[in-house]
Amino acid sequence: MRLGVLGGGQLGRMLALAGYPLGLTFRFFDTVSDACAGQVGDLVTGSFDDPQAVSDFAEGLDVITYEWENVPVDAVRLLAERVPVFPPPEALEVAQDRLAEKHFFQQLGIPTPAFEAIDSLDALQGAVQRLGLPAVLKTRREGYDGKGQRIIRAAGEIEPGWEDLGNRGPLILEQFVSFEREVSIIAARGRDGDCAFYPLVQNTHTSGILSRSVAPAPDVRNGLQRTAEDYGRSVVERLAYAGVLAIEFFVSEGRLLANELAPRVHNSGHWTIEGAETSQFENHVRAVAGLPLGSTAMRGQAAVLNLIGATPDGSDVLAIPNAHLHLYGKSPRPGRKLGHVTVRSDGAGEVEAAVEQVQALIRAQGGSSL
Amino acid sequence: MRLGVLGGGQLGRMLALAGYPLGLTFRFFDTVSDACAGQVGDLVTGSFDDPQAVSDFAEGLDVITYEWENVPVDAVRLLAERVPVFPPPEALEVAQDRLAEKHFFQQLGIPTPAFEAIDSLDALQGAVQRLGLPAVLKTRREGYDGKGQRIIRAAGEIEPGWEDLGNRGPLILEQFVSFEREVSIIAARGRDGDCAFYPLVQNTHTSGILSRSVAPAPDVRNGLQRTAEDYGRSVVERLAYAGVLAIEFFVSEGRLLANELAPRVHNSGHWTIEGAETSQFENHVRAVAGLPLGSTAMRGQAAVLNLIGATPDGSDVLAIPNAHLHLYGKSPRPGRKLGHVTVRSDGAGEVEAAVEQVQALIRAQGGSSL
């Protein structure tokens, strides 16, 4: 079976590495010819609005998936007329627009921070009155890793905020949630409707980029995991989903508030390669290929540190007991995710000790400001 | 860093899948253009005695390794003048000749079944007198998976044995060992001399082909593991080895008798992908690339069933809890290793139950005579 993947970044690369043992082959589509997944599978390069390039990509594929949620939905719908596409394009539509996403959560009874659609400075001023400050002004589309958003802390920052983002398409204003922590749940749903969930993971962002995930999230009450799974199940069922999907939550006063969803494998699930019986990548591939899901049970404890902008020496990382290195084959650039290190162990204490060592290496080469 | 791998079979394929996360890239050399590693990396096709093809392969490589022990040693020595080759060519030389291999074990004080070199019918008759019957007549070179050997059980089988194998190069006669079981140890040695060992694994052969491995080997006395590690260490140190090496033993009257060594990753180590902190494939890649070795500690219990000649339906395999499917992307042919299934669990009982289920699937499609 030949899988097509829209997007040729590290997520696609890790999908292929997980899928080859299942006897699958992979073809990627990306706009740039040095997309790092091209090192491990066929790569077709072109624009998503170039019918010939897209058609060359689709030729002979059995199923198509995506590893990047900003793939143009129209292009995906056209492809879906020719080759089955999973997850369904509706999931992309929801995820690409922060307003649609919040409405979607609302419809399902999943709490979110309060929000309002913003299409003018007047609307922004009114929304600030109702939601209070601080609040976060975000572009509705194409924001990721903290891009396209700014915090408004005082009335004097309203106009500058509008000037900064108002010309970048429709906006959304969200109440600033003073949260205890950020967690995420990764759900998998098979084409047969079977659902599975990984344990809640606790995430730390640095400058808007995910820098660290700890699995399982420490001190999670049983109820919180169950609630997150209920939310996850209602999302994937409403979307008639197949594949892996992540939902990021704030934990505020002990409650989960949905922040955003990603209709794909997710950075906060990288620990599953070593730390779960079946990785998120394998489960995504299994799901979209119509195969049964694998066990999401944890094996020990795990933590992931992202390598952002620069990478420490591989030898130094690999000399740390239980440290597993994942480099994406990308050239260094400030703020770019170049790899990650997973620490896995049967004991949480060992994980913490190794994380300290990895973090010292990352600090020493000045790559990420963890 | 770009690694070259001589041989493009499933072992090379799994080396690449383990090495990509370390940021390495792979180029394979094989005599056939549909070698299955070519699905996951660059493949150069040609004859080992074609200087142009070998030179094209070597161009720009940082280090060369091999995944097949019948690579011509002369070709490897030529390559080693240009690019570092690990494991060292001497290891190939020893492994390619059953007589040299036995002498090598002898020199290191590692017990083996009694043996004699055979170059004539007269020599064979004399050797049978001294070693007794039954005995096993083998070609010294190019035997694998039970090929190039026959058991001589009675005096009347001496001449037919000679007629069958006498024209296939020099032979060796080995005492037939009535063993309790077959086990193997996988050793890893880094370029810095650091050694690590996986637990002894118990192997079952069917028609001369490895069909099943159980890790760890059940009821192994501590002393047996230590002895196997001592033997492994003396082998890799004598060879100034870098990489992974396997030694197969008979266990006879509680003692280890070395049967053969493989200077490469080994079928009896496939369980390490899921069942060990670091897989044999990753440790081989780390070793030849000059990186530190990873932990060889087990994670739970594991068993591997080989898929020989045919493969069961992937969905059926993946529906079995804790079953991990590995298909090699090869077309079916009787006796051909097409894939394997690893079962991993924290409890031995769960492994056994799942192994039964996998075996039932294998029997049902008539692939392997397990």
**Per-10-residue mean pLDDT for chain B, 370 residues long?**
98 98 98 97 96 95 95 95 97 96 98 97 96 96 80 95 92 95 98 98 92 94 94 98 98 96 98 98 98 97 96 97 96 95 93 96 71
| A21/B329 Cβ within 8 A | no
Tokens of B322: 């804790």
State mean pLDDT over A70-98: 96
Compute φ and ψ for B163, nearest 5 degrees: -65, -35
What is the tens place of the pLDDT at every residue in A318-327? 999 999 999 9
Show Cβ contacts of residue A289 under 8 Å, excluding neighbours closer than 6 positions.
Answer: A1, A3, A19, A22, A24, A62, A63
Interface test with B, best of A13, A27, A28, A39 (most B CBs within 10 A): A39
Mean pLDDT of chain A: 95
A122, A113, A184, A185: which is closest to A149 by C-alpha?
A113
Q: What pLDDT score was predicted for residue B369?
A: 40
| B40/A40 Cβ within 8 A | yes
Q: Are the beta carbons of A309 and A302 closer than 8 angstroms?
A: no
State mean pLDDT over A103-120: 97
| B20/A17 Cβ within 8 A | yes
Compute φ and ψ for A135, nearest 5 degrees: -145, 165
Distance separating alpha carbons of residues A169 and A157, to the nearest angstrom? 19
Q: Tell me how far apart the terminal alpha carbons of chain A are, to the nearest angstrom.
A: 41
Q: Is the dihedral of CA B58, B64, B70, B74 positive or negative?
A: positive
| B327/A315 Cβ within 8 A | no
Q: What pLDDT score was predicted for residue B370?
A: 41
| B23/A39 Cβ within 8 A | no
Is the pLDDT at A153 greater than 90? The verdict is: yes
Tokens of A24: 């699958």
Give the pLDDT band of residue A216 (cuts 50, 70, 90). very high
**Pick from A22, A314, A322: CB nearest B23:** A314
**Pick from B290, B321, B327: CB nearest A295:** B321
ipTM: 0.94
Percentages (nearest 5) of helix, strand, coil residues in chain B = 35, 30, 35
Mean pLDDT of chain B: 95
Judging contacts by C-beta atoms under 8 Å, the chain A residues touching residue B21 are 17, 324-327
Interfacial residues of A (vs B; Cβ cutoff 8 Å)? 13, 17, 20-23, 25, 39-41, 277-278, 286, 290-292, 294-295, 299-300, 314-315, 318-319, 321-322, 324-329, 339, 344
Q: Tell me how far apart the terminal alpha carbons of chain B are, to the nearest angstrom.
A: 41
Closest chain A residue to the Cα of B11, Cα to Cα: A21
Q: What pLDDT score was predicted for residue A370?
A: 42
State mean pLDDT over A263-284: 98
Q: Which helix (H) or strand (E) holds A131?
A: helix A121-131
Q: How far is B16 from chain A (nearest CA, A)?
A: 9
Q: How far is A248 from chain B (nearest CA, A)?
A: 26
What is the tens place of the pLDDT at every residue in B22-36? 999 999 999 999 999
Alpha helix positions (H), B97-138: 98-107, 121-131
Between B343 and A207, the higher pLDDT residue: B343
| B291/A329 Cβ within 8 A | no
**Pick from B17, B25, B315: CB nearest A291:** B315
Is the pLDDT at A367 greater than 70? The verdict is: no
Is the pLDDT at A145 greater than 80? The verdict is: no
pTM over 0.90, yes/no: yes
Q: Are the beta carbons of B357 and B320 closer than 8 angstroms?
A: yes
Neighbours of B273 (CB within 10 A): 23
Q: How far is A216 from chain B (nearest CA, A)?
A: 18
Show Cβ contacts of residue B234 under 8 Å, excluding neighbours closer than 6 positions.
Answer: B108, B109, B110
Q: What pLDDT score was predicted for residue B144?
A: 67
Longest CA–CA span in chain A (Å) reads 59
Judging contacts by C-beta atoms under 8 Å, the chain A residues touching residue B322 are 277, 295
Give the pLDDT band of residue A160 (cuts 50, 70, 90). very high
Say if strands B42-45 and B25-30 run parallel, antiparallel, or are unpaired.
parallel
Q: What pLDDT score was predicted for residue B367?
A: 55
| A20/B17 Cβ within 8 A | yes
Q: Which residues pair with A150 in a beta bridge?
A: A137
Q: Which helix (H) or strand (E) holds B195?
A: strand B195-197
| A318/B292 Cβ within 8 A | yes
Judging contacts by C-beta atoms under 8 Å, the chain B residues touching residue A344 are 277
Is the pLDDT at A369 greater than 70? The verdict is: no
- Measured CA to CA in angstroms, residue B342 lies from B208, B266, B306, B350 at distances of 20, 14, 9, 13
| A329/B25 Cβ within 8 A | yes
Show Cβ contacts of residue A92 under 8 Å, excluding neighbours closer than 6 positions.
Answer: A66, A69, A71, A73, A76, A263
A116, A112, A158: which is closest to A133 by C-alpha?
A158
What is the tens place of the pLDDT at every residue in A294-314? 999 999 999 999 999 999 999
Judging contacts by C-beta atoms under 8 Å, the chain A residues touching residue B326 are 21
Cβ pairs bridging A and B (under 8 Å): 81
Closest chain B residue to the Cα of A290, Cα to Cα: B315
Interface test with A, best of B39, B273, B316, B320 (most A CBs within 10 A): B39
Interfacial residues of B (vs A; Cβ cutoff 8 Å)? 13, 17, 20-23, 25, 39-41, 277-278, 286, 290-292, 294-295, 299-300, 314-315, 318-319, 321-322, 324-329, 339, 344
Judging contacts by C-beta atoms under 8 Å, the chain B residues touching residue A286 are 318
Q: How far is B58 from chain A (nearest CA, A)?
A: 19
Interface test with B, best of A42, A284, A325, A351 (most B CBs within 10 A): A325
Question: Three-state DSSP class for A349?
Answer: helix
What is the tens place of the pLDDT at every residue in B263-318? 999 999 999 999 999 999 999 999 999 999 999 999 999 999 999 999 999 999 99
Closest chain B residue to the Cα of A19, Cα to Cα: B326
Q: How far is A351 from chain B (nearest CA, A)?
A: 13
| B314/A291 Cβ within 8 A | yes
Show Cβ contacts of residue B117 under 8 Å, excluding neighbours closer than 6 positions.
Answer: B99, B123, B140, B170, B171, B172
Give the pLDDT band of residue A147 (cuts 50, 70, 90). confident
**Pick from B23, B40, B325: CB nearest A327:** B23
Tokens of B341: 């299934």
